[in-house]
Amino acid sequence: MQGKLLRRMLTRYDLYLLLLVPMVWYIVFKYYPMYGLQIAFKDFSPSQGIWDSSWVGLKHFDRFFSSYYFWQLLWNTVSLSLYSLIVGFPIPILLALLIHETPSRKFKKWLQNATYMPHFLSLIVIIGMLNIFLDPITGMVNRVLAVFGMDPVDFMRKAEWFQTIFVGSGVWQNMGWGSIIYLAALSSIDPTLYEAAKMDGASRMRRIWHVSLPGILPTIIILFILQIGSWMDVGFEKALLMQNPINAERSDIIATFVYKTGIQEGQYSYTAAAGLFNSVVDFILLLLVNGYARRKTESSLW
Amino acid sequence: MKRKRKGTVLLLAGAMAGVLTLSACAKESADTNGGASAEGQNGGVNTAGFPIVKDQASFTVFGCKDPNQAAWKDVLVFKEYEKKSNVHMDFQETPSQGCAEKKNLLFASNELPDLFLRAQLTNDDLAKYGMQEKQLIPLEGLIDQYAPNLKSLFEQYPDEKKAITAPDGHIYALPQMRVLGSERSEKIWINKDWLQKLNLQAPTNVEELKKVLVAFRDQDPNGNGKKDEIPLGLRDMGMVFSELTGSWGLDRQLGYNINIDNDKVHIWVADDRFKDMLMFLNEMYKENLLWADFYKGDIPKWRSNLSQANFGMFFIQASDPFINVENQFTGMAPIKGPFGDQKFVSAQPIASPTGTFAITKVNKNPEAAMRWVDYFYGDEGSLFFRFGVEGQTYEMKDGKPVMKDSVLNDSRGVMAAMGDINLVPGGGFPHLVTEKTGGLTNNEKVMEVYGYVEKYIPQTIYGAPIFDKAASEKILSLRADIDKYVNESVAKFILGELSFDRWDAYVNTLKKMQLDELEKAYQQAYDTMKQ
């Protein structure tokens, strides 16, 4: 039996060679670093190294869970992810449907280009644009508000605006890019289905509902599960760049906390525990959603 | 299907195990190498005079580079000193921003350079990487044998030596020695031209201060017809806790928000006096009297406002960022606060900053390194470091060194020109600063302005203590929450995002965060230090 497998592998050695490349990548960059995870349960001492540092059990988790900021960090992380997901996930689908239904080829191309251009802007540029547009005195947005007789709002400074700006700019930047995969799925739907629906007198909305959406549903579910996998992994750089002491009560998420306390202040063991907690929550969510999808629909990750 | 997957998993697991053992081996051998090099005698070091070593010695050096400094290998003083000392420095400097990060990673990965020079080592670093990890070596023995200049300085200032000695009795890093008072103190600057134009006197109490600032705001003292004057400037959040506090009777001892009365340590962040000062700043902010960007820590913007003389009143140690307009300004005494206090507490001890130079355990010739740095603690070396080469970068006038005009009138600005010569811009280099060698950062103007605050500076200033392991663990974890909370809340109080009705809630939260425990920990550290 073992021999059979080996023989099969040998006959298709070229494919396995190809597979080797990503596998090495995973081992070097994903599995090997996990060796360092143990410092979450140790008092990491650089002179003794990762392996020889002394075990301290759950001390660092204890400290993290009982720290004053734990619930705030957790809530900020969860609510920001949830918000991003609820707003950010359906919009590319809607955009794809919209583009798909646009009759003029020229307009279609233009729309597609215009919406996915922002994806290529660097994050620093986006934050700079936000700062300029949302400035309370010189910013475009506040000037428009002023025209309607409203008081200027210092958006970047208000904690309650942080999540909306974060998610809104994210949607603006990524909806075009995100819609590409749905467009591909849409174009693979058999056109005869649309014709048949048309013959039966289905309106445009009906055709979208009964033909387009079911056609791309597997894609939607897979992408949804993938997004859940990085649930708590919300844009760390962006949150960090947008952060200031005034909006920190909303903008401080576990990832920024790990960076500031761990990397900048050198409390490696403590923040390794915080980071591990984040990943474990991620992983459990992924299992739950995947399990649910497998039971309810045909498609799931595994 | 199932079976096949099992095979793959096994394969993967095997590969992983292989990688793990391989890397473990690699690590071990690296460790033994590091250990073996610890011994070695004085490596052919001459105990006096130059060159320091017969055969060229070479060190790898990690440090933080201020934006105004040239690449360190091109800095004139270092190039000249290499010729003189026969010690080569392989500089690996990192821009200040992100430097702390890099420094922590060097320690954590145990990939140590031979020396840490101007690397902003904090007292927590010294406790952690010196006392606990032994990655930095004790220096007191080397100082006795190879650092005559520093030794005599320590004999002259025994308290300073005590302050930089860790609780285990070792010295893990050398401080900058700022004997000249002006070098280690911020100053209060006020726009003299604006005062004259509006026919005003420098304010002496809170009411007068408000009046002056309002006049700065409304009466267009710079005469350009625009309301672009910024009456009061604070560089960043840190200044909220150090610059005006003295007028409210709040001191800055032990490098923290601490008053010490009769040997009793008190942290004042929950005090009513502090609240009163915040209410004052809140009023300043609401009235557009305070620089609106102060909480962002935008240093380039701050410097550009300085050089355009946009501020009416502000705080800074030296005039170098606005040397072109420094004559518009003069100094003033701290105002008398609402509770009758009149102090100026933004000053540091002589031996500060503490962690400017440290030798690591991988250094094969610490004797030569110690001799290399000791030169800068002598009068001759201090002059050489701060001014460069006589005739080339400075001249002696009436017994005082003066930078050449080619430096002073450099089109890039004085500080950038200085950055080609030495590491004075940005400060924090291990050396001696005296009245004679104070130089640009203590020029006539700066000394004039210092004169106004000098007598209001507290007699004794205790720097941040070096904690032992138990204390530092406790203090670090308490301060992590408390500092974050205080900083955020204070910013909100001043900006009006948090109303002062919530002050009691703020105080209660601090109680919950165990502010009293933190105070106790500091009291203990202070008591040990006093022994």
Does A245 contact B487 at a Cβ distance shorter than 8 Å?
Answer: yes
Regarding whether B113 and B225 lie in a shared domain, the answer is no
A196, two tokens: 């048949």
Q: Which of A59, A135, A157 to mutate to test the interface with B (most CBs of B within 10 A)?
A: A157
Encode pLDDT of B25-65 as tens digits. Answer: 444 333 333 333 333 445 678 888 889 998 899 999 999 99
Encode pLDDT of A230-240 as tens digits. Answer: 766 668 889 99
Regarding whether B190 and B166 lie in a shared domain, the answer is no
Nearest to A156 by CA among A133, A187, A181, A183: A133
Q: Which pLDDT value is given to residue A292?
A: 85
Residue B240 carries which side chain, given as an amino acid letter? V
Q: Does the ipTM surpass 0.90?
A: no
- State the residue for tokens 């640009």: B440
Regarding whether B480 and B342 lie in a shared domain, the answer is yes
For the cut 50, the answer to whether the pLDDT of residue B153 exceeds it is yes
Strand partners, B191: B329
For the cut 50, the answer to whether the pLDDT of residue B5 exceeds it is no
> For residue B317, what is the domain's CATH number?
3.40.190.10
Residue B364 lies in a domain: yes
Residue of B nearest to A137 (CA): B292
Of the candidates B15, B484, B509, which has its C-beta nearest A27's C-beta? B15
**Residues of chain A whose pLDDT is less than 70?**
1-2, 231-234
Tell me what percent of the residues of chain B surpass a pLDDT of 70: 92
Mean pLDDT, chain A, whole residue set: 88
Residue B52 lies in a domain: no
Does A248 contact B484 at a Cβ distance shorter than 8 Å?
Answer: yes
Regarding whether B168 and B259 lie in a shared domain, the answer is no
Residue B4 lies in a domain: no
Chain B: closest CA distance from residue A114 (Å): 34
Q: Which pLDDT value is given to residue A232?
A: 67
Q: Which pLDDT value is given to residue B441?
A: 79
Domain membership of residue B81 as a residue range:
57-176+352-428
Chain A: closest CA distance from residue B111 (Å): 10
For the cut 50, the answer to whether the pLDDT of residue B92 exceeds it is yes
Q: Which pLDDT value is given to residue B385?
A: 95
Of the candidates B133, B296, B512, which has its C-beta nearest A45's C-beta? B133
* CA of residue A262 relative to chain centroid, distance: 23
Give the CA radius of gyration of chain A. Answer: 24
Residue of A nearest to B484 (CA): A245
Interface of A with B (CB under 8 A): 1-2, 5, 23, 27-28, 31-32, 35, 44-47, 49, 51, 63, 67-69, 157-159, 244-246, 248-249, 261, 263-268
Regarding whether B160 and B252 lie in a shared domain, the answer is no
For the cut 50, the answer to whether the pLDDT of residue B469 exceeds it is yes
Distance, CA of B250 to CA of A153 (rounded, Å): 35
Encode pLDDT of B233-273 as tens digits. Answer: 999 999 999 999 999 999 999 999 999 999 999 999 999 99
Comparing B12-16, B258-262, B299-303, B385-389, the range with the smallest average pLDDT is B12-16
Residue B197 lies in a domain: yes
Residue B25 lies in a domain: no
Residue B27 lies in a domain: no
Residues with Cβ < 8 Å from B113, sequence gap 6 or more? B59, B60, B61, B62, B92, B106, B360, B362
Residue B131 lies in a domain: yes
Residue B50 lies in a domain: no
B21 confidence band (pLDDT: 50, 70, 90) = very low
Contacts of A63 in chain B (CB under 8 A): 477
pTM of the model as a whole: 0.82
Encode pLDDT of B185-223 as tens digits. Answer: 999 999 999 999 999 999 999 999 999 999 999 999 988
Regarding whether B221 and B120 lie in a shared domain, the answer is no
Regarding whether B317 and B222 lie in a shared domain, the answer is yes
Q: Which of A15, A72, A246 to mutate to test the interface with B (most CBs of B within 10 A)?
A: A246
Residue of B nearest to A1 (CA): B3
What would the mean pLDDT of B334-341 be, rounded to a whole number? 94
Regarding whether B397 and B308 lie in a shared domain, the answer is no
Chain B: closest CA distance from residue A269 (Å): 11
Q: Which pLDDT value is given to residue B42?
A: 59
Of the candidates B101, B133, B495, which has its C-beta nearest A264's C-beta? B101
Regarding whether B319 and B200 lie in a shared domain, the answer is yes
Regarding whether B318 and B212 lie in a shared domain, the answer is yes
Does B3 contact A5 at a Cβ distance shorter than 8 Å?
Answer: yes
Nearest to B526 by CA among B350, B262, B270: B262
Count of residues for chain A? Answer: 302
Count of residues for chain B? Answer: 531
Structurally, how many domains does chain B consist of?
A: 2
Regarding whether B64 and B121 lie in a shared domain, the answer is yes
CATH value of A67-296 in 2.40.37.10, 3.90.550.10, 1.10.3720.10, 1.20.120.1760 = 1.10.3720.10
Does B513 contact A68 at a Cβ distance shorter than 8 Å?
Answer: yes
Contacts of B497 in chain A (CB under 8 A): 157-159, 246
Q: Find the DSSP H helices in B375-514.
A: 379-387, 405-408, 414-421, 444-453, 469-495, 503-512
Q: Which pLDDT value is given to residue B219?
A: 93
B383, two tokens: 């002059």
